[in-house]
Amino acid sequence: MPIPKDTIAAISTPLGEGAIGIVRLSGPDTYKIADRIFSDRHPEPFSQRDSYQLYHGFIKNPQTAEFLDEVLTTGMKAPGTYTGEDMLEINAHGGILVIQRILELVLQEGARLAEPGEFTKRAFLNGKMDLAQAEAVADLIRARTDLAKKCALQQLEGGLSCKLKVIASELLDILAELEAHIDFPEEELPPQLYERDIQRIESSSRILEDLLLSARYGKAIREGVRVAIIGKPNAGKSSLLNRFLEEPRAIVTETPGTTRDTITESVSIEGIPFLFTDTAGIRETSDPIEQEGVRRTEAAITKADMVLMVMDSSQPLDSQDEDVLDTLKKYAPSACLGILNKSDLLSHPVIEKDKFQELIKTLVPLSALTGEGIKELKKLLVDTIKQGEVTDAGGELILTNVRHAELMGKTLADLQLTRESMSSNLSPELVAADLREALHHLGEITGEYITGDLLNRIFSRFCIGK
Ligand SMILES: Nc1nc2c(ncn2[C@@H]2O[C@H](COP(=O)(O)OP(=O)(O)OP(=O)(O)O)[C@@H](O)[C@H]2O)c(=O)[nH]1
Ligand SMILES: [Mg+2]
């Protein structure tokens, strides 16, 4: 993609009343515009001042001499800037009107209104960061939990790019060797030509596989984990929701059938957002309101990433529990935990594990009333999401971007093909073609190989002014 030659401008702070609003410019005409609209007591023009200094002064319309605002302005000279171009930041008073008028003025003086993410796009095009890093900027702005923020920062600092660079350079080495062999006639090729290369490709694949495994956890961090709390009436579902929230959000009574509608609330556990949905108890009923409630319960199960089936462990399992199990069987959710509630009451009956085994691997005793066992359940929820895939969320790199995960999957498939071609002792030409595909997909993650369309799509996710 060609590097743009025009100058862009945008309001970089949220629109609304605030103490300060910032108008940002980037591009070759930045200082020319600054010289025309900014004035203060210094005699030399703004363009001759030092970079990264804050100047107090005034914004005036040079065509009408109208005074717009008293501001603090910073100029930053290329190439040592965010975009790699000349940049200007005008800190004005934060009213909607003031800041809009300053933007209009810089547009009148020759700047163009920036598209969403265009500043960061320029940073990418000018080689200030690769695409994976640029995408991390958007993730950082959107981060809602500390962990999401940490993952985005790690990616922004080049954590992912660095790993991918090591792999790419290893693959390029192999490719260079293959290309050296291409001109040899077949019979002169050494036996076991590929033996070492197969091993090298396997170890690169392993790194990619590990990263790809972390993507599931990354999705949880980004979008939250949907957990449906289901069970027969009166099992203690609403009590469990309230226990997670540590507040009496849902109505709890001793009358079976209390909850009629689903209630969803979010709770952050170890930095992962969980969205818990309390549901109406599942049972055969002729009450149309309760029937609709049960229908909504079933919808919640289909949407859930994980299901908690709550049972009243103070009583033997009954036909209503069997009905719940039948419903579960129908929707077969991927992860399901059994909650043996009311553990504070006496007479723990032996739960017939066989009945569950197919659907529920783990049974957790707890008391939603006293809170006993809830800590263990929370830990289990987090572990189920991690599933041993990420041993230490603090240190490991976690893949949070769907685009990256897809491309990594493609790269791995290409590497698998390359390995197979090598094992079948195909000619270096053919093996090289497979390997080139892998490098291409890898390069799409960091933006080495990328089309203008895709770039536009990626940056349109950004906010204006970033
Ligand atoms: N002893 C004891 N009682 C509990 C426990 N959990 C819930 N209960 C009681 O069981 C009754 C039903 O609790 P809810 O939380 O309303 O049960 P539910 O599953 O939401 O019921 P429905 O909304 O009617 O389907 C209430 O009287 C609760 O106080 C527990 O762990 N121990
Ligand atoms: Mg309830």
Residue 228 and residue 365 in one domain: yes
Average per-residue pLDDT for the chain: 89
Question: Of 451, 447, 444, nearest to 411 (Cα)?
Answer: 444
Residue 211 and residue 234 in one domain: no
What is the mean pLDDT of the segment spanning 108-118?
95
What is the mean pLDDT of the segment spanning 89-99?
93
Please report, for the domain that includes residue 315, its CATH number: 3.40.50.300
Q: How many helices (H) and strands (E) does the chain have?
A: 15, 13
Last residue of a domain, one of 345, 361, 386: 386
CA of 220 to the centre of ligand 2 (A): 26
Side chain identity, residue 311: M
CA of 273 to the centre of ligand 1 (A): 25
What is the mean pLDDT of the segment spanning 363-370?
94
CA distance linking residue 109 with residue 92, whole number of Å: 18
Tokens, residue 188: 């002169």
Residue 407, domain extent? 137-219+399-447
Tokens, residue 68: 């717009």
Residue 234 and residue 293 in one domain: yes
Contact between 334 and 367 under an 8 Å Cβ cutoff? The reply is: no
Instruction: Please state, as a whole number, how many other Cβ atoms lie within 10 Å of the Cβ of residue 263.
Output: 18
Residue 363 and residue 230 in one domain: yes
CA of 221 to the centre of ligand 2 (A): 28
Residue 176 and residue 277 in one domain: no
Residue 12 and residue 65 in one domain: yes
State the number of CA atoms in the 13 A half-sphere of 407 facing the CB.
22
Residues within 5 A (CB) of ion ligand 2: 237-238, 258-259
Most confident of the ranges 9-18, 70-79, 327-336 = 70-79
Residue 283: pLDDT band (50, 70, 90) is confident
458 inside domain: no
C-beta of 281 in contact with ligand 1 (< 6 A): yes
C-alpha distances in angstroms, 166 versus 73, 182, 208, 398, 439?
41, 25, 11, 17, 12
32 inside domain: yes
Residue 124 and residue 185 in one domain: no
Q: Are strands 18-26 and 38-39 parallel, antiparallel or unpaired?
A: unpaired
Share of the chain above pLDDT 90, in %: 61
CA of 254 to the centre of ligand 1 (A): 6
Residue 99 and residue 21 in one domain: yes
Read off the pLDDT of residues 392-441 as tens digits, 9 standing for 90 and up.
333 467 888 889 999 999 999 999 999 999 999 888 999 999 999 999 99
Q: H or E segment at 197?
A: helix 195-223
C-beta of 367 in contact with ligand 1 (< 6 A): yes
In the DSSP assignment, the letter for residue 371 is: -
455 inside domain: no
CA distance linking residue 129 with residue 121, whole number of Å: 9
Residue 203 and residue 251 in one domain: no
Tokens, residue 286: 């002729």
465 inside domain: no
Total domain count, the chain? 3
Please report, for the domain that includes residue 199, its CATH number: 1.20.120.430
C-beta of 386 in contact with ligand 1 (< 6 A): no
Contact between 132 and 151 under an 8 Å Cβ cutoff? The reply is: no
* pLDDT at site 388: 40
* pLDDT at site 396: 64
Instruction: Please state, as a whole number, how many other Cβ atoms lie within 10 Å of the Cβ of residue 173.
Output: 12
404 inside domain: yes
Q: Which contacts of 41-50 are long-range, i.e. CB under 8 A and separated by 24 or more positions?
A: 46/73, 46/75, 47/75, 49/75
* pLDDT at site 393: 37
Q: H or E segment at 305?
A: none
The residue to which tokens 């410019």 are assigned: 25
C-beta of 341 in contact with ligand 1 (< 6 A): yes
CA of 253 to the centre of ligand 1 (A): 7
299 inside domain: yes
Residue 243 and residue 360 in one domain: yes
3 inside domain: no
Residue 72: phi and psi, rounded to 5, are: -115, 130
The residue to which tokens 């940073």 are assigned: 123
> What is the residue with the minimal CA distance to atom 27 of ligand 1?
254
262 inside domain: yes
Closest ligand 1 atom to residue 370 Cα is: 31
CA distance linking residue 241 with residue 252, whole number of Å: 10
CA of 259 to the centre of ligand 2 (A): 4
Residue 233 and residue 351 in one domain: yes
Tokens, residue 447: 């933006």
Contact between 117 and 37 under an 8 Å Cβ cutoff? The reply is: no
Burial class (CB within 10 angstroms; exposed 0-12, middle 13-18, buried 19+) of 195: exposed
Residue 200 and residue 85 in one domain: no
- Edge-first strand order for the sheet with 306-312 is 263-269, 272-278, 225-231, 306-312, 336-341, 362-365
Read off the pLDDT of residues 149-200 as tens digits, 9 standing for 90 and up.
888 888 898 889 988 999 999 999 999 989 888 877 766 677 778 999 999 9
What is the mean pLDDT of the segment spanning 333-356?
78
C-beta of 214 in contact with ligand 1 (< 6 A): no
What is the mean pLDDT of the segment spanning 31-51?
95
